[in-house]
Structure 1
Amino acid sequence: MCERNSLNNWRRDGHHRPPTLAFVCGRGGARAMTTATAIVAGHGIAFRRSLHLPNPPGKPSFSVARPHAHYRLIVPATPSPRPCRSISSESPTAAAADTAADEEEEPAATSEEDDVDPLAEVCYLDPDADAEGIREWEVDFCSRPILDARGKKVWELVVCDATLSLQFTRFFPNTSINSVTLRDALASVASSLGVPLPDRARFFRSQMQTIISRACNELGVKAVPSRRCVSLLLWLEERYETVYSRHPGFQKGTKPLLTLDNPFATNLPDNLFGDKWAFVQLPFDDVREEVELLERRYAFGAGLDLDLLGFELDETTLVPGVAVESSRAKPLAAWMNGLEICSMEVDTGRANLVLSAGVSTRYVYAGYQKSPATTQEAEAWEAAKKACGGLHFLAIQENLNSDSCVGFWLLLDLPPPPV
């Protein structure tokens, strides 16, 4: 852990850490209080809370550098090796220039993309992967914007693990969509690749919960509704561009049959309330270190494979997050750990923080007193998240002055898949 620092040690590399607002949250709403916060970089995470400031800041106090923030999914050498996605905070002109430069430098990637057979199915296991160690799968079973010879939509099963070491796809006619078909197909993934069935299978479509849950239960696999299927979501986006759109039966402009739910946020259950929360920031290098040490340091939380996603952020780039203080931090972190948390966002119109979990659950996580200053603070937090390619985090602590966290979740905003 890093040494305790005072406000005099805010300066790093010639820059002051900006103060942020903290909000005391509770069932009856929230009242704003102004405090000074410094986030100290070093070995581990530290959110600093210090003396109250006499007056709220007159301008947005939350600020981050504007780095070249973008990432892309790094796909292993498979029949579908093209990077899936790229997000950048650069201008469209600069992004176009970078794209042109990438195309000039990597002609082989274009050639590989041209060689993709849109009719082929994928059955791949990385030869260097530990097959016995792949205990979680990400699963999608849904129609595609493709018509078969009968003029009916083709369905597809797509399975992968979080590292894309395992990849499997299979097409189905719409007349055989049921839990028995899915059960047998999932069993064939294991038998075809020579891997054991997983302990858990994540899926992100609420409409398919009955079929997927029934198929998984018959195989002794726990079905987990979750939008933390980051690799699967990005792989589907890549397949739309390189496979579906090139299929002879492709129907351009077809809307997804099963869209993702985005319901109104409901009240937070009593057991999930914290005592205080604050907008905070952490350098990207420290975020990466927290993810690497997550399993050893914390009992609760979840990370993302930043290497697979290929995030290209400067190590000093400040990643936005939310820190929560609770006198019962460990029970709170344990309850939160079972929610499959996927993202957090600010609803500036209603002056509250919204937590998204599972596949279709949204909670009003906390509220704050609406004012020009707090609105600017919230908007700046959302802008910082966008500048980091949607990357953000949630940390639960026993005290906001603590040097450590009881729980740490790395989160990522992703748009819905095109299929």
Structure 2
Amino acid sequence: MATLSFNAARFRAPPLQSLRHNLNFASYVKPTSFLSKNLPRKHLLQKFRLDSISESSVSTQNGPEIEEEEDREEQAQGEDYDDPTFELSYLDPETDPESITEWELDFCSRPILDIRGKKVWELVVCDDSLSLQYTKYFPNNVINSVTLKDAIESVSEELGLPLPEKVRFFRSQMQTIITKACKELGIKPIPSKRCLSLLLWLEERYESVYTRHPGFQKGSKPLLALDNPFPMELPENLFGEKWAFVQLPYSAVREEISSMKTRYVFGASLDLDLLGIEIDDKTLIPGLAVASSRAKPLAAWMNGLEVCAVEADTSKASLILSVGISTRYTYATYKKTPVTTSEAEAWESAKKSCGGLHFLAIQEDLDSDDCVGFWLLLDLPPSPV
């Protein structure tokens, strides 16, 4: 079975030698002095292997007959999990159910036709560590908030999980149904593209499950495509005073993420082990630093936006901030010259070379060694489903 991994290749980002400008581009931010704290390795990539669910430790004290029986059961389970029509209901036995307070959810059609020639719909639920994995197919004539509400309750009952406090989802077209179902259950719905575990799992399922399904329709386009709307004007409370293209070694980025829980810093991290991104510690990760005399209030406002990506739009000489599901802001502008265009292109190139990994940092001053807000971001290609 394929393992769900973002990219096993070793990325190397080109150094950003020219990102310096005397007008709207501030000078480089000094490498931040980060607290060092090592997090335990969870080896979460193993959880993407659907056949790993049937693995178990068999004691030799059970005797050969019991071992043979368990082997047969495991083989039968393995055959089920290899069946593309199989519906998954799994909770990591080593995970405390009470600790899973946030789910990631997708409820959408798949490139699969049923016996009526209609598209099959599917509910996919997980948490950010994939300790929770649940899938269920539905015919297209029962798609509504009541069906989804009942299905969410079924996930909780089948796996002995409490209902989550929050549910993240990334399709704007399903916002009404998902919001209504969640609110009836007392769950806070959060429209957000920071559903990276879910998006990566869907990408893996497309290759290992949907394309092998007997009803798969090759070339079928997603019914509910993701939005990419025209950027809006940035709200006044999100304005910074200065900004700069910056870079940090990958080792420093990891240490910053590790230390976020021990310091009072706004922001959001990513589980780099889960994503399976392999980058050399010395590789420079591109980022955007924003300075403001009201840095803490600015970071607090940003913290409620579900920040997902920053993009340099060289055609319009601007930076685009993407938040939530489909909200895009013109975050900053600069004077368009051959030099600034080259700088912006180099920054985007570095981001792509790092597999889309980049960051946003908010500081009181661009020469400060500390951040009051730090968001690790990842640009992913659109979901194939």
Q: Into which bin does the TM-score normalised by the smaller protein fall?
A: 0.7 to 0.9
2:326 to 352, 357, 360: 360
**Matched residues, percent identical?**
65
Preserved CA contact (<8 Å) 2:170 2:191: yes
Unaligned runs of 5+ in 2: 1-14, 37-42, 54-77
Q: 1:395 aligns with which of 357, 361, 375?
A: 361
The two structures, once aligned, show a CA RMSD in angstroms of: 2.2
Aligned-partner Cα distance in 1 for 2:175–2:266: 26
Residue 47 of structure 2 is aligned with which of 48, 59, 76?
A: 76
Residue equivalent to 1:320: 286
Correspondence for 2:24: 32
Q: 2:160 aligns with which of 175, 181, 194?
A: 194
Give the counterpart letter for 2:227 in structure 1.
D
Q: Does 1:184 align with 2:150?
A: yes
Q: Tell me the secondary structure at the aligned position of residue 138 of structure 1.
A: strand
Contact 1:285–1:315 at 8 Å: present in 2 too? yes
Match of 2:198 in 1: 232
Report the AA paired with residue 263 of structure 2: R
Establish whether residue 267 from structure 1 lines up as the match of residue 233 from structure 2: yes
Query: Displacement, 1:78?
Result: 5.1
Change (3 A) 1:159 1:226: same
Note closer, same or farther for the CA distance 1:295–1:262 as it changes in structure 2 (3 Å cut).
same
Say if 1:151 and 1:313 are closer, same or farther in 2 by CA, change over 3 A.
Answer: same
Structure 1 runs, 4 residues or longer, greater than 6 Å off? 112-115
Note the 1:129-278 alignment, pairs <5 A. Answer: 129-278=95-244
SS in 2 for 1:21: coil
- What SS class does the counterpart of residue 291 from structure 1 fall into? helix
In the TM superposition, 1:281-292 aligns within 5 A as 281-292=247-258
2:352 counterpart letter in structure 1: K
* Secondary structure class of the residue paired with 2:111: strand
Residues 114 and 197 (structure 1 numbering): CA distance in 2 closer, same or farther, change over 3 Å?
closer
TM-superposed deviation, 1:394: 0.2
SS of the aligned residue for 1:399 comes to coil
Rounded to whole Å, the distance in 2 between the matches of 1:409 and 1:327 is 19
User: Structure 2: how far apart are the matches of 1:221 and 1:32?
Assistant: 43
Taking the aligned partners of 2:104 and 2:116, their CA distance within structure 1 comes to 30
Relative distance call for 1:226 and 1:317 in structure 2 (3 A) is same
Partner of 2:347: 381
Measure the CA separation in 2 of the matches of 1:250 and 1:181: 24
Query: 2:60 aligns to what?
Result: none
> 2:19 aligns to what?
20
The one-letter code sitting in structure 1 at the alignment partner of 2:45 is: I
- The separation in 2 between residues aligned to 1:289 and 1:299, in whole angstroms, is 14
TM-score of the aligned structures, taking structure 1 as reference length = 0.78
The within-5 A match list for 1:40-119 is 40=31, 42-44=33-35, 74-76=45-47, 79=50, 116-119=82-85
Matched, 1:346 2:317: no
CA distance in 2, matches of 1:373, 1:40: 24
The answer to whether the 8 A contact 1:154-1:174 is kept is: yes
1:359-407 deviation line (CA, Å, top 9, x unaligned) = 0100000001111111111000001001111000000001111111110
Q: For this pair of structures, how many residues does the alignment match?
A: 341
Q: Deviations over 1:170-209 (max 9, x none)?
A: 0001111000000010111111111111111000000000
How big is each residue's C-alpha offset from its partner over 1:259-295, in whole Å with a ceiling of 9 and x where there is no partner? 0000011110010000000000000001011111112
Q: Could you say which residue in structure 2 is the equivalent of 1:50?
A: none
Aligned-partner Cα distance in 1 for 2:82–2:281: 36
Could you tell me which runs of 5 or more consecutive residues in structure 1 were left unpaired when the two chains were aligned.
1-15, 24-30, 46-71, 83-111
| Aligned-partner residue type, residue 85 of structure 2 | L
Structure 1 partner of 2:301: 335
Q: Which whole-Å CA distance do the structure 1 matches of 2:18 and 2:260 have between them?
A: 27
CA distance in 2, matches of 1:17, 1:379: 10
Give the whole-Å Cα distance in 2 for the aligned partners of 1:17 and 1:279: 9
1:302 equivalent in structure 2: 268
Distance 1:362 1:17, change over 3 A: closer
Write out per-residue CA displacement over residues 1-42 of structure 1, whole angstroms, 9 at most, x where no aligned residue: xxxxxxxxxxxxxxx99463257xxxxxxx435x54263365
Q: Partner letter of residue 28 of structure 2?
A: T
* d(CA) in 1 for partners of 2:221, 2:383: 11
Equivalent residue in structure 2 for 1:121, among 84, 87, 108: 87
Q: Secondary structure at the match of 1:32?
A: coil
